[in-house]
Structure formats: structure tokens, C-alpha cells
Chains A and B, each alone.
Chain A
Amino acid sequence: MKFSQTPLDQKNRRNEKLFRMLFMMMAVLLVLPVLAVLSVLIYKGGPALSWDFFITNPTQGMTAGGIWPALVGTMWLVAVALSVSVPLGVSAAIYLSEYAKDNWLTRVINLAIINLAGVPSIVHALFGLGAFVLFFGLGKSILAASLTLAVMTLPEIIVTSREAMQAVPRPFREASWSLGATRWQTIRHIVLPNSGSGILTGIILGVSRTVGETAPIMFTGAAFFLPYMPETVWDQTMAMSLHLFVVATQVPDAPEALPFGVALSLIAMVLTLNTLSIIFRTRLRRKKKW
């Protein structure tokens, strides 16, 4: 009997099963909190949702009515933040991926990005207050709040964009250079078209983070309640995340379904964005040319 099981084999097999189970349980455990949060939100907040909820103003001291101004305000914040962070972040990523040599300047920049990514959002909030609201005199405004959000999401955009560009194989660049293309022509025709999906993913993840942040906008441009809608970037605005904070903690006689309804809408926004980013990623990946 050359091939029969020895005690050691038995032990190995047992361990194999054990670890498999263990790791699977951990993976499943991870899903549970997500499901729990979602089901509580849907159960408690679901009844508050209706079409009117999205398109009406809050009424009666914010104990009734909808979230329209907060929804619009969040879109303002995201749009303005993106118009700053995307050009800045993608340009920085292009420099780091395609031009930078490995020298002290590059290392300093990389260090700065890592540290920027680790700064807590409340610190960004104070920075935004000090820099944009006071020092640059933008006042509490959409512009100041969006700039703060932009600074906060920059590292994410830079890092994901740079990684997406680095994933384009080097021989493609060399082929392009050998045909007489400059660095910039190579970036434009070869690198960017083939890293678009990754860059987009980074941007959308940045957006979904922007949507959820409260502290950075609270000090810099978001208001508890405004009787009017923002018209320019110099106005203050309401925003979803802050609105949730307000109806949950600052309005004692709000019905329970209200904050949960706001929370559900907020998380729906974030989930939609994340799903979008996944769809984009897979669709663009399929278009890849290698």
C-alpha cells in the first residue's frame, strides 16, 4: 500500500478544512455588518421615502418635508470640488508616473501624498477654515467647502491615477518613443486612453467620499438650514451629510423615520456612485487593447 493515508496526511487534511472554514467565516462576517446597516436603514427609513421627499424643502422646523436643498447642495459641492481636484490630481499623477525621475523631489512629493491621505477630516476642516475661509477671504461658501473637499480627496485621485498609468506596460511607451513620439504625445495617445478606467474609478471613489464627509464642510460652507437655494459658489449651502447630522441630533422632535430616511438617501447616493465606478471599470477594461 504505497498510497494509503498516513496519520500526518489526516492531520493535514483536517487542518486544511479547518482553515478553509475559518477564512470563509471571516469573509462572511465582513458582509454581515453591511447587511445589518442596510436592513436597519431600509426598515426604519424606507417609510419616509417618497418622490416628494426628494424634491421638497424641509418644513416645520425641519421635522417634516424633504431633502431637496441638501441634495442640490451636495451636488454643488461635489461638482466644484471635482473641477479642482480632477485636473490637479490627474496632472500630478501624470507627472509622477511619466516624467518624474527617482530623486529627492519625487520622494518628497510621494511622502506628502501619503501624509495628506492620512490627515483626519476634522483637521482638513480646520485647515479649510483657516486657509480658504479666513486667509484667502472666501468666507463660508461653496467654494471654500469644495476646495477643502478637493484637498482631502486629492491623494486618492493621485494615487489611483498613477497606479492606473503605471499599469500600462512600458514596452508600449518605448514603441511609441521609438516612432518619434514625444513624451506628451505618448501620454495622450497611449497612456491615458489605456488608463482611463482606473483614473475614472479613482475619481468616482473620491466623489463618494466627498458626498459622505461632514466635518470639512461644516466649518467652511455648509449650513444647518437655509431658506434659499445656492446660486453661485459664493453662497453657503445645505448638504446631505450635514443635514443628516442636524435632523438626527439637533432637532429633538423630528419623527424617527426622518433621519433614517436621510441616511438611506445618502447611502443610496454613495452606493450608486460605487456601483457606477465598478461598471465603468469593467466596461473600459473590456475595451483595453492588450
Chain B
Amino acid sequence: MVDATTDSLAIRVRDLSLWYGDFQALFNIDLDVKKGIVTSLIGPSGCGKSTFLRSVNRITERLGYVRTEGQIKVLGENILADDVELIQVRKKIGMVFQRPNPLPLTVRENVLFAWRLVHGKGTKEQTDEIVEQSLQQVLLWDRIKDRLGDVATSLALEEQQKLCIARLLPVQPEVLLMDEPCSALDPAATAAVEELIWKLREQYTIMIVTHNMAQARRASDECVFMLMGKIIEHRPTDEMFLAPEHQETADYIEGRYG
């Protein structure tokens, strides 16, 4: 376990268990995620990585038959408490999905969508600035500044995924959750998005699920290995890959390397 003082923590999970109906997908998870770094989440398919990530911004609840127990503190507050407003949770904790999923709107409207939910329509100067800033931040501005009026789904996949990151930024999130954000992209696009994630890490706390060992190794500070709904190991990435503590971790890492 990586030790850290409470202040430097972005996410603090205690004894988290989650059931889909009768099926238990997460078992008593304890996890501390530090602020301002990239933490990658690895493990075999079906071990609960997505489930865990989704419960951190409470998307799992949409399903109705999901039951969650335990505590997820984000920035010191338990987001599972009764008096928590989901909309505020979603604002502070942005989510990027496996397949780029821009809304069926223009590029501009995509960037402004979340912001407008909070602030209303906004003036032209205001919104122009937000659009430019957000797209600058994801290194997309120069490439698509002439296509702001285009339908977002007409962009290349890499651009779409970056746009999906950009649209989270105008409402000033603290945490960005990414569920295999590169798995639909080709190697060049993957490298570009990884570079972006690395660049964003100073400003945001990032948790990224990946099944690509090389990616976890290249693009994360700390690494969490999950197996069958439990966390087996959580350590700085270099250490984990050089000398895994548990046999399961070693098997998984090596298995993937062949």
C-alpha cells in the first residue's frame, strides 16, 4: 500500500462492495488515490475495473439493480452520502468512455454542453473563450478551430476522444476518470492521447483503466492491480513492473508480455 496524508488524497475508498443484483462485483475495496497524478487500473477482463471506475462518479446507479456499500470520499466528502447532489458529483468527476461518445451536436456545442447546463447559454465572448481554452488544453485547437460548426461525430476518432476530454474541462472538474480511453484508437492516436493525459496530470487527478501494460507503464505514476473484484496490489508504477509483490500481479504482467 502507498501511504499518504489525507490532504494529498483525491479519492479515498473504504470497504467498498458492489452488487449487480445478486452478483457481487466488488469486494471490500480500500484505495487511496493521490491528487495530481495518473493512477492506472489494470487487471484481467471482468475483474471489476470499469465497475469500480463507474461507481466513483455514480454512473452505475442508472441501472437500478445495483447496490453499493462502503465509502467513497472524493476531495474529503463521501459521495455516497444521502445529501449528495448527483449533478455536482458528475461535474467534479468527469468520465471518459472506451468508445469516443461525442454528443450528436456540433464540436462547439459539445464543448459547451456541460458548462451550459450550469451557466445557461452565455454570451458569445464567454463561450468563444471557453471553447478555445478547452480545445487548447487538449491540443486540439489548432487542428479543428475551423471546424467548430461541424458535427462532432464527423471528426477522426482521436479527435473525438480528445473532444470528449475537452468537454469535461469547462466545469472545472477535479478528477478525470478514463475507462480504456485508447482502446478504440490506432497506435499513433493512442500515443497522442497518452501524451495529452500526461500533460493534464498536473491540473487534474486522473484514474485510467487500461488493459495495455505498456501504456500503464509509460503513462502512469501509480498502478493498481485488480483481480476478481479485489485490489491485489497498489504501488508506484516502476516498482510494480520491476518487482511485483504478489505472485498474481507478476503472472498477469508477464502473461501479457508473453
Do A and B share a complex? Answer: yes
| A interface list, Cβ under 8 A from B | 101, 168, 171-172, 174-182, 185, 189-190, 193-194, 288-290
Interface pairs A-B: 6 shortest CB-CB? A289-B104, A180-B90, A179-B114, A175-B101, A289-B151, A180-B87
| Beta-carbon contact of B113 and A289 below 8 Å | no
Q: Is B64 an interface residue (CB 8 A)?
A: yes
Apart from A175-B164, A178-B97, A180-B114, what 7 extra A-B contacts exist at CB < 8 Å? A175-B101, A175-B103, A176-B113, A180-B86, A180-B88, A181-B117, A289-B105
| Beta-carbon contact of B152 and A179 below 8 Å | no
Chain A residues within an 8 Å CB radius of B214: none
| Beta-carbon contact of B113 and A179 below 8 Å | yes
Q: How many Cβ-Cβ contacts under 8 Å join chain A to chain B?
A: 67
| Interface residue range, chain B | 20 to 34
Chain A residues within an 8 Å CB radius of B57: 178
> Which of these, B88, B90, B99, B153, contacts A179 with CB under 8 Å?
B90
Task: List 13 A–B pairs whose Cβ atoms lie within 8 Å, in order of A's numbering.
Answer: A172-B103, A174-B97, A175-B97, A177-B59, A178-B94, A179-B114, A179-B167, A179-B168, A180-B86, A180-B88, A180-B114, A182-B87, A190-B103
Segment 101-133 of B: residues with Cβ below 8 Å from A: 101-106, 113-114, 117-118
Q: Is B171 an interface residue (CB 8 A)?
A: yes
Chain B residues within an 8 Å CB radius of A193: 104
| Beta-carbon contact of A171 and B114 below 8 Å | no
Q: Is B95 an interface residue (CB 8 A)?
A: yes
Chain A residues within an 8 Å CB radius of B167: 179
Q: Which one of A178, A181, A194 has the greatest number of beta carbons of chain B within 10 Å?
A: A178
> Which of these, A172, A185, A194, A290, contacts B117 with CB under 8 Å?
A185
| Beta-carbon contact of A172 and B104 below 8 Å | yes
Task: Give a binary string over B73-111; 1 marks a CB under 8 Å from any A CB, 0 the rest.
Answer: 000000000000011101100110101011111100000
Chain B residues within an 8 Å CB radius of A189: 103, 105, 113
Complex CA–CA separation, A193 to B105 (angstroms): 10
Chain B residues within an 8 Å CB radius of A179: 90, 94, 113-114, 117, 167-168
Q: Is B143 an interface residue (CB 8 A)?
A: no
Complex CA–CA separation, A172 to B101 (angstroms): 7
How distant is A188 from chain B, measured CB to nearest CB, in Å?
Answer: 11
Complex CA–CA separation, A106 to B125 (angstroms): 46
Complex CA–CA separation, A51 to B166 (angstroms): 60
**In the complex, which residue of chain A has the Cβ closest to the Cβ of B62?**
A177
Complex CA–CA separation, A284 to B239 (angstroms): 56
How distant is A187 from chain B, measured CB to nearest CB, in Å?
Answer: 13
Chain B residues within an 8 Å CB radius of A177: 59, 62, 90
How distant is B151 from chain A, measured CB to nearest CB, in Å?
Answer: 5
Complex CA–CA separation, A176 to B152 (angstroms): 14
Given A185-B117, A189-B113, check contact A178 B104 (CB 8 Å): no
Task: Give a binary string over B170-183; 1 marks a CB under 8 Å from any A CB, 0 the rest.
Answer: 01000000000000
**In the complex, which residue of chain A has the Cβ closest to the Cβ of B113?**
A179
Chain A residues within an 8 Å CB radius of B102: 175
> Which of these, B64, B87, B104, contacts A288 with CB under 8 Å?
B104
Complex CA–CA separation, A176 to B109 (angstroms): 12
Chain A residues within an 8 Å CB radius of B168: 179
Complex CA–CA separation, A101 to B86 (angstroms): 20
| Beta-carbon contact of B171 and A180 below 8 Å | yes
How distant is B95 from chain A, measured CB to nearest CB, in Å?
Answer: 5
Complex CA–CA separation, A179 to B86 (angstroms): 10
> Which of these, A101, A182, A290, contacts B104 with CB under 8 Å?
A290
Complex CA–CA separation, A177 to B103 (angstroms): 11
Chain B residues within an 8 Å CB radius of A174: 59, 62, 97, 101
Chain A residues within an 8 Å CB radius of B62: 174, 177
Complex CA–CA separation, A178 to B171 (angstroms): 13
Q: Which one of A171, A174, A175 has the greatest number of beta carbons of chain B within 10 Å?
A: A175
Chain B residues within an 8 Å CB radius of A171: 97, 99, 101
Complex CA–CA separation, A172 to B59 (angstroms): 14
Complex CA–CA separation, A168 to B114 (angstroms): 20
Complex CA–CA separation, A171 to B117 (angstroms): 19
Chain A residues within an 8 Å CB radius of B95: 178
